[in-house]
Amino acid sequence: MPSKSKFLRGKKIDPRPIKKNVRVVELVDKHFQAYNAGRLGEACRLFAEKMLNPNVTIGMSLTGALTPAGLGGSCIVPLMKAGFVDWIVSTGANLYHDTHFAIGHTLHRGSPFIDDRVLRKESVIRIYDILFDYNVLLDTDEFFRQVMTEPEFQMEMSTSEFHYKLGKYIYARERKLRLPFNSILGMGYKLGIPIYTSSPGDSSIGMNVAETVLMNDNKLRLDVLADVNETAAIVLDAKQSGGWSGVLIFGGGSPKNFLLQTEPQIQEVLKINEKGHDFFIQFTDARPDTGGLSGATPSEAVSWGKIDPAKLPDTVVAYVDSTIAMPIFTSYALARRTPRPVKRLYDRRSVLMQRLWRAADRVRKANSKNK
């Protein structure tokens, strides 16, 4: 008989019945066999088998209303505690709504088909099928405004420093309330995980910063350019210290691009010899052909220098709702791998920035000599 085609060497599709109460690892490895279930399985295995090696620095981006659905405390924070996430870029909205839980408020399951005119009359806010009292927003706003009047906030700072300082107060509130979970900002403070917001004015946290500046002559200013350099410094250090850089993307939008643009900042702008991120996982429901994928596919990202061309096989895009993928992905990772030591990159910001400056300065001096 002629030899089989190389394309038929993959695992056989197995239609055997699923067991009741099947464990997540078995569910993913045995029953997520094709289509986007197959891609979700590939993402789980890439993360557990390669990205979670000790010398990989992992950045995560968060877009979409994930934390109102409880995914901050249930999934993101466990990944942080396990050392599976080293730095984060998030929308301000995810950090804001996550804080509702941390300061003792509740959000409730509901229906997306309620008459919103009735909800408005009853002072109920709706995020699709999540409902909560309007006062939750007012109380959270007041919490942030009070904290931001503290002396340590009266200066210009990157969003990582801003979030770290906010996290100290949020973590203290969580401990006082004896909550059975933690917030992203609270855990970022405790573990020294830098957290950035690529568009800090585009959220209720940013709106409250603006209010304190307008009404109270507050000296707080957010330096978004410092964020650009800090995130580039994290990636450069990961690569030049003999390690790898991996990106874990939930959704798309500005946080995704901000996570990925670290490599063009290093290569294109600072002219430092680099090749791109080594690992790429994204969960999204957007399409590349409409221009809505925010940073595009891993293959297209290669053309920008965002992804190392040689590492393209270590990239996965699963076109699936993040609220479905994240609990499965998190459970799989926690089951397959033991915790890694926390890198505490926030504590090393000045060292990382010095390394970036020295590398860029060497290039600048070399270019000056060649002119």
Is there a contact between 244 and 212 (Cβ–Cβ < 8 Å)? no
Element containing residue 117 per DSSP (H, E): helix 116-121
User: Annotated catalytic sites, by residue?
Assistant: 306
Largest CA distance in the chain: 83
Q: Contact, 283 vs 75, CB < 8 A?
A: no
Interatomic CA distance for residues 196 and 113, integer angstroms: 34
Q: CA angle, 144 as apex, 149 and 95 as ends, to 5°?
A: 140
| Separation CA 323–CA 332 (nearest Å) | 15
Closest C-alpha among 183, 179, 238, 190 to residue 205: 183
Phi, psi of 167, deg, nearest 5:
-60, -30
Q: Residue 149: helix, strand or coil by DSSP? A: coil
Distance separating alpha carbons of residues 287 and 315, to the nearest angstrom: 17
Which pairs count as long-range contacts for 175-182, CB under 8 Å and 24+ apart, including other chains? 177/103, 177/104, 179/101, 179/102, 179/104, 181/73, 181/74, 181/77, 181/101, 182/73, 182/77, 182/102
Return the H-helix or E-strand segment holding 137: helix 134-147
The phi, psi pair for 355, rounded to 5°, reads -65, -45
DSSP states of 267-304: IIIS------BSEEEEE----GGGT-SSS--HHHHHHH
Sequence length of the chain is 371
Interacting residues of 290 by C-beta distance below 8 A, sequence separation 6+: none
